[in-house]
Chains A and B, each alone.
Chain A
Amino acid sequence: MEDLLREFVGEALDQIEEASADLVAWERDPTDRDALDRIFRAMHTIKGSSSFFELPRTTGVAHAAEEALEALRNRRGIPDGHIILLVLEAFDVCRRLVSGVTPADGEPQLAVDELIKRLGDHVRRDPRHEMEAEPAAMAALAVAADPAASWRTVRVPLDLLDTLMNAVSDLVLSRNELVARLRAERVDIEAMPAFERFNAQLVAVRGIVSGMRMVPLRQIFAPLPRLVRQIAADLGKQVQFVAEGGEVEIDREVGEALRDPLTHLLRNAIDHGVESAQRRREQAKAEVATIRVSALRSNNRISIIIADDGQGIDVARVVAKAVAGSLLTAEAAAALSPQARLDLIFHSGLSTTDAVTNISGRGVGMDVIRANVERIGGRVSLDNAVGKGLTVTLDVPMTLTIVNALAVPVAGQDYAIPRAMVEEVMMMTSDWVQHCQSGGADFARIRGKLIPMLVIEKLFDGDAATDSDDSERALIILRGSGRRRVALSVPDVRDIEELVIKPVPAILASHGLFCGMSLPDSGRPLLVLDIESILMRCPEIVEERHAAEAASAVAVGEPWLFLTRHGSDSRNAVPMAAIDRIVDVPRDAIIHAGGRWFAHMGEDIMAVAADFASLPASGMVRLVKLALGNRTLAIDAADIGHIVQIDPATIRPADQMGVMGISMFGHEMVELIDVHAMLSATGAAVARSTEDQAAPATIWLMSGDEASGALRLLAPLIEQAGYRCKSATEADTIPADADVILRYLDSGADNRIEVRRGTASQTVNLWDRAALLAAIGGERAA
């Protein structure tokens, strides 16, 4: 009895859902007798079964709804919106009653009398109802009994399907074990026709079982017509809803994950897309807008297309909002491609409606939709026709449980990478690939484009060494949501068959390396790498689309890391080669001592340069530790951006201390930090305490006349390089054993300096700092 009751509940819920959709369809097209017949059949079944299970409330509501529908049908006119609403309400109540049914207590104690009375009032208000009631009821019964119209289905709990699936997997493993045993006995099992047949049948059975988890999209689409009707009514808009491709089958789980995104998209379409009736008239559009949801299947992917014929997205407004919300600068926005500008709509906190309605426009929308779709391995794309409408395509896998994967062997064990996350596989020896190392991090330059690189062995164990050299290794280019790209260096790659993925328990998921496991035909468990979370591991390698686009135009030069410092509006960049590491330290650990600032990290003490007044008062502060030679210095970073290659030819000089130049990136200006200057000025303090304090060599500056007095201006540069400066106005005040003497050659416009070192003499350009430093003996350790 309990089983029967459970079956009734499942069946009734499905029927109510489909009946709601049919009712909205019938309202739109009153000539659609089939839709109406289906509703009658559903209500009739629910009425019959619920009375069998003694669920009087459900029976009562179903009966009253059926009566009201009959009255509607007999009127043969335009359906009355009020009645439709009332019947929909009745469906809702039925759903609540049925879903609350328990074997012990029956249906929940909902008050239904009032609803039944209101439904009855409607029926009685119709004068023709009395005389036509009988034949109508007969017709409904006739339809219900029509055997051809009912599907021949059996309801099966999902658990049972999973058990069946596991049993079939067991069979496959047993077969493998049997084959291995017989082979050991030197039996040529493959030559046996019976074995071949058995094998083929087993494969077929596995396919059938996988197919059983699939449901037609119709089930996912069923509540949508009603949703559209309700939202349109709330907003006073007229919308016609069309659903196509309901017969396309999809894994139940994927279908469930699509419910929310579909709901959000339809809300957006009606609220933002569809214009008021008046505006549509003015634009010579059909007064009733059309929203079309369709589905297509290709191989293992399903595309769900949501198209409206509204006004489309006003891209200029999206950009203006993004700029106003400081998502990017106006210049950076201007540099974006049209598609990239449109994609700004996916940024969180961006909404184009000025007034927040209770339907949509709260700034959570497209970003949430994209996150939901990408969570199941899908992608969202937009096709915007301004004035004509927006088409959103959700491209999702047909099933979550079976994925195509690559196998990567590490230390004698295979790991799986879902194919959907793989953009490309390359050999390290390819001419298109170059392995670079900067500041302790690995990069791959692929066709001139720089992307961060992770080494799988180091990912598993930070201290591990790779056991093969680059020439034998392969590179897997991974692409996740948010357009992050990472190159994963692996010892080898193999293609593997479809894997049935099972979730890992929390204890294995928590460290973010693996998101699933699978038991392939080999019978040895296989771990599936959690690519999304691996991509998230390195905040400093976030690659935004506009950055990637701009970077591709400037694919020469050294990599620089973009960052913004506390208390500064301008964008800074530091060369990757100078970065030792990026650390988060508590604000408390940044202390003022001896006239300087230091970050305390266990045993390690780092000099810190920052605008200390602007640092957060508590919490963590992110520091970028710069290192060169024996000096280190940490600078603060309020925000770490992407890595960009900067062509030295594009660097323009700057006048600010600590800034080596500025560069334009897209339309954004970036100050390039003069790491060398910073390390010389600040880093020295820490270094000096431990180093021997040999007296620095003295550089004599000859400033005989006024013009050469300008040489004094070189003093900071020279002192930073570890020398001491002295000035002299007369040549004879300089001691005979002076190490280096600088003299300004006042010979017109070529700005040259004579550098005399012992007996050797050369001239250098006044503005060529590097040549000047080299001429005086180069950089000295302080």
Chain B
Amino acid sequence: MSHDLHVICRIGSEAVALSATNIESVDRIGAVTAVPGAPATVMGLVAMRSRILTLLDCAVISGEPHDPSAQSMAILSIDGHGYGLALAAIEDVLPLANIRPLPSPVAPRWHCLAPQLVDIHGRTLLVIDPARIVAAASNPGTSTLAA
């Protein structure tokens, strides 16, 4: 088991570790351009130098209400499009080992994010692949917003 870097942060009320393998950088969320008609999982567009990122509301994707304290975003590219994942309380970037499958089923709303589990300093965190978050936001059918 390698020691991959993870971003320790909070999504809604849940402490999570996002795999940093695909994350290009973490930045503060600047001015947001609203996108009329977009699903609730999309907060809008933000500019990062000459790139335009689609800002996704991770709290909403995981089935919680919009979290106004999510002021930072993790930036990644998928299929040529740039995305920002709105996150709250970014604490640290740590190499994590001993990531293991979930011992028991999580709440259904987390299913689409296929989380795993890790213990650090006595805390238990959900480990999530950020690409899953983008996929869940893009396919509302697989996300369980109503849960």
Stretch from A87-95, A248-256, A437-445, A508-516 that touches the partner = A508-516
A507 interfacial contact with B, CB 8 Å: yes
Interface window among A340-348, A470-478, A522-530, A630-638: A522-530
Interface membership of chain A positions 461-486, coded 1 if the CB is closer than 8 angstroms to chain B and 0 otherwise: 10000000000000000000000000
Question: A6 → chain B, closest Cβ, in Å?
Answer: 20
Contact in complex: A525, B45 (CB < 8 Å): yes
- Find A519's partner among B34, B47, B79 (CB 8 Å cutoff): B47
Contact call A507/B137, Cβ cutoff below 8 A: yes
A765 contacts chain B at the CB level, 8 A cutoff: no
Contact-residue bracket for chain B: 20 to 34
Contact with A along B73-88 (1 / 0, CB 8 A): 0000001010100000
Q: Are A166 and B38 in contact (CB under 8 A)?
A: no
Whether A507 pairs with B33 at a CB distance below 8 angstroms is no
Instruction: Let me know if B45 and A507 touch, CB within 8 A.
Output: no
Contact A460 B81 (CB under 8 A): no
Say which one of B9-17, B50-58, B113-121 lies at the interface with A: B50-58
- Min C-beta distance of B40 to chain A, whole Å: 11
Question: Which one of A167, A413, A460 contacts B37 once the chains associate, using CB atoms below 8 Å?
Answer: A460
Binary contact track B23-50/A, C-beta < 8 Å → 1, others 0? 0000000010111111101100111011
A670 to chain B, nearest CB (A): 37
What residues of chain B lie closer than 8 Å to A527, measured between beta carbons?
Answer: 33, 35, 45
Is B138 interfacial (CB 8 A cutoff)? yes
A173 to B54, CA, bound (A): 19
The answer on a CB contact under 8 Å between A173 and B34 is no
The smallest C-beta distance from A465 to any residue of chain B, in angstroms, reads 14
Contact B50 A507 (CB under 8 A): no
A526 to B37, CA, bound (A): 15
Tell me the nearest residue of chain A to B46, going by C-beta: A525
- The contact of A508 among B38, B46, B47, B51, by CB within 8 Å, is B38
- Interface residues in A511-562 (C-beta closer than 8 Å to B): 511, 513-514, 517-519, 523-527
Contact B49 A173 (CB under 8 A): yes
Docked-complex contact A170 and B50, CB < 8 angstroms: yes
Whether a CB of chain B sits under 8 angstroms from the CB of A169 is: yes
Indicate if the CB atoms of A519 and B52 lie closer than 8 Å. Answer: yes
Q: How far is the CB of A457 from chain B (nearest CB, A)?
A: 9
Minimum CB–CB distance from A115 to chain B (whole Å) comes to: 40
B24 shortest CB reach to chain A, Å: 14
B34 contacts which chain A residues (CB < 8 A)? 411, 413
Report chain B residues within 8 Å CB of A459: 36
Please name all residues of chain B whose beta carbon is closer than 8 Å to the beta carbon of A169 when the two chains form the complex. 50
A508-B54 CB under 8 A given contacts A170-B49, A517-B45, A525-B45: yes
- Which residues from chain A contact B31 at a C-beta distance below 8 Å? 524
Bound CA–CA A461/B46 (angstroms): 21
CB neighbours (8 Å) of A505 from chain B are 54, 79, 81, 83, 138
The residue on B at minimum CB distance from A517 is B52
Known: A460-B37, A525-B52. A506 touches B138 (CB 8 A): yes
CB of A502 within 8 Å of the partner chain: yes
1/0 contact string of A481-511 vs chain B (CB within 8 Å): 0000000000000000000001111111001
Known: A507-B138, A525-B33, A527-B45. A166 touches B39 (CB 8 A): no
Give a binary string over A143-173; 1 marks a CB under 8 Å from any B CB, 0 the rest. 0000000000000000000000011011001
Beta-carbon nearest neighbor of A462 in chain B:
B37
Whose C-beta in chain A lies nearest to the C-beta of B55?
A: A525
Cβ-closest chain B residue relative to A500: B50
Within 8 A of A (CB), among B78-104: 79, 81, 83
A411–B79 Cα distance when bound, in Å, is: 31
Asked whether B33 lies within 8 Å of A526 as measured between CB atoms, the reply is yes
Residue of A at shortest CB range from B82?
A505
CA distance A487 to B33 in the complex (A): 26
Contact A460–B51 (Cβ < 8 Å)? no
Give the distance in Å from the alpha carbon of A779 to the alpha carbon of B79 in the complex.
65
Residues from chain A with a CB closer than 8 A to the CB of B39 are 507, 511
CA distance A169 to B41 in the complex (A): 29
When C-beta atoms are compared, the residue in chain A nearest to B45 turns out to be A525
In Å, the complex CA distance between A503 and B79 comes to 11
Complex interface: chain B residues within 8 A of A511 (CB)? 37-39
A525 contacts B47, CB within 8 Å?
yes
Once the chains are docked, how many angstroms separate the CA of A508 from the CA of B34?
Answer: 11
Measured CB to CB, the closest approach of chain B to A528, in angstroms, equals 11
Chain B 133-145, CB-CB to A under 8 Å as 1, else 0, gives: 0000110000000
**Distance of B38 from chain A, by nearest CB (Å):** 6
CB contacts (< 8 Å) of A519 on chain B: these are 47, 50-52
Most B CB atoms within 10 A — which of A410, A507, A514? A507
List B57-79 residues whose CB lies under 8 Å from chain A.
79
Q: Are A513 and B37 in contact (CB under 8 A)?
A: yes
Q: What residues of A have a CB within 8 angstroms of the CB of B38 in the complex?
A: 507-508, 511
> Across the two chains, which residue of chain B brings its CB closest to A411?
B34
| Contact residue among A461, A507, A518 (Cβ-Cβ distance under 8 Å from B54) | A507
Does A514 lie within 8 Å of B35, measured CB to CB? yes
Residue numbers in A under 8 Å from B138 (CB-CB): 505-507
A403-414 CB contact bits vs B (8 Å, 1 = yes)?
000000011010
Segment 204-249 of A: residues with Cβ below 8 Å from B:
none
CB-CB under 8 A from B79, the residues of chain A are 505
Look across to chain B and name the residue whose beta carbon is closest to the beta carbon of A518: B52
CB distance from A397 to the nearest CB of B (A): 22
**Known A411-B34, A506-B138, A519-B52; further 15 A-B contacts with Cβ < 8 A:** A170-B50, A173-B50, A459-B36, A460-B37, A503-B81, A504-B54, A504-B81, A505-B138, A507-B54, A507-B137, A508-B42, A519-B47, A519-B51, A524-B31, A525-B52
B residues engaging A (CB < 8 A)?
31, 33-39, 41-42, 45-47, 49-52, 54, 79, 81, 83, 137-138
25 contacts between A and B (CB under 8 A): A170-B50, A173-B50, A411-B34, A461-B36, A502-B52, A504-B81, A505-B83, A505-B138, A506-B138, A507-B38, A507-B54, A507-B137, A507-B138, A508-B42, A508-B54, A511-B38, A517-B45, A517-B52, A519-B47, A519-B51, A524-B31, A524-B47, A525-B45, A525-B47, A527-B33
Q: Please give me the 8 A-B residue pairs with the lowest Cβ-Cβ distance, nearest first.
A: A460-B36, A169-B50, A525-B45, A505-B81, A170-B50, A507-B138, A525-B33, A525-B52
